[in-house]
A and B are shown apart, each in its own frame.
Chain A
């Protein structure tokens, strides 16, 4: 059972719009990781990982082995470069639709 329960059906539509709409799959050029990406503008980027992609990312595997690492949180530079490439190739549309 959900804990914070919406009282309107439209709230679930909103949830879907903000979390799922227009995500485009992008594959890392260096490893097997595949993520879903959305860009609302040139400077905005959303990256949705899966558990599988997270364990495929060699950069994260390396970092996870280090103790107490604060830098585990930082994005993987290789994946970010792959996303930039996909944007340049026109595979990831740039622009928002009504705030999402």
Chain B
């Protein structure tokens, strides 16, 4: 056996996860037009029918493969631009205007839809099971009312990474210091059933002019739970110089291919009392910007790293193996879900030593900066 440790890059799954996936804000689909959403190795067509229901079908017509997303909404159906076959939200072909009758087998792939917290969610399962409404993400009280700012919603294509890279962050304590420029002072994970939660408290680094987590005047209390494989609610309490703001961050994604996914994130801020709407909107935009920058910091890492099936961990790391064991439940048939994938697991990371070393490093960085500034002003 060689002493050199090798990276096992493994093989990525050919299937996409079972569970609820968010396609975006429901209101963005409610204009009577067909919408194209890349997902699950293909493309979905989404439209609103006359009852106001949002429907999602596979984007390609079962007749001759026409692109339904370039079709037209006619009545409650989506009509193919190629031969005008009309498809209903239940997946059945409702009419072929030039035909005597519709073939009995004219049934396409449909995705069950639901709207939660103003967002459109679809159920995806390679085994074709009925949607499980018991495991939907919870409704957020008061969000979408006057008490919170409206969702600020953003979409980003990620190429060259499996979406598991995004999930790994749930258990990754140390990257908050190096990638997001914050001291994670407290860090805990709990995986239980279809949920995976990260509890974190952090404080920005004073030696970086970082955004998001990295503002030195900010301390953060964060609870982030994945409900299934692709939809996370992050409750954040941001204390900025004593001014506390409650922020809700949605972090969700749709896998589009074996190594591509669409990241979506949305932010809603509890309007601080005594502030007018314009100021509240301004605060919400600043948070949206800074957490958006936080995602970009992650993306820069993902785009350049390799997949690793056998991460080598140190004592200060979070439970990556247990997190991936939890995540695996969404990639196997329901019959093959093993107890250890869903059994509750709790892990508290010891952040004491790490923070000791990091504070020393930051003090050194500040001292270097001060002496560089001093010599620069002496030169001037």
Contact = CB atoms under 8 A, between A and B. Distances in A.
Contacts of A2: 328, 332
B10 A46 contact: no
Interface string A67-100: 0101011110000000000000000000010011
A43 B349 CA distance: 7
Dominant secondary structure of chain A at its interface with chain B: loop
B6 A8 contact: yes
B72 interface: no
What range describes how many residues of A lie at the interface?
Answer: 35 or more
Given A11-B310, A46-B347, A4 B10 contact: yes
Given A4-B324, A11-B310, A40-B315, A45 B331 contact: no
B159 to A, nearest CB: 19
Nearest to B348: A45
Contacts of A49: 192, 343-346
A79 to B, nearest CB: 9
Given A19-B322, A51-B343, A72-B192, 18 more contacts: A1-B332, A3-B13, A4-B12, A4-B164, A4-B309, A6-B309, A7-B309, A19-B321, A19-B340, A40-B350, A41-B350, A42-B350, A44-B350, A46-B347, A68-B138, A68-B139, A70-B138, A99-B314
B251 interface: no
B380 interface: no
Contact of A73 (B190, B317, B331): B190
B360 interface: no
A17 to B, nearest CB: 9
A1 B328 CA distance: 11
A74 B195 CA distance: 12
B65 interface: no
A50 B10 CA distance: 28
B351 A43 contact: yes
Contact of A14 (B15, B138, B321, B345): B321
A26 B314 CA distance: 25
Contacts of B325: 15, 19
Interface string A23-65: 0000000000000000011111111111100100000000000
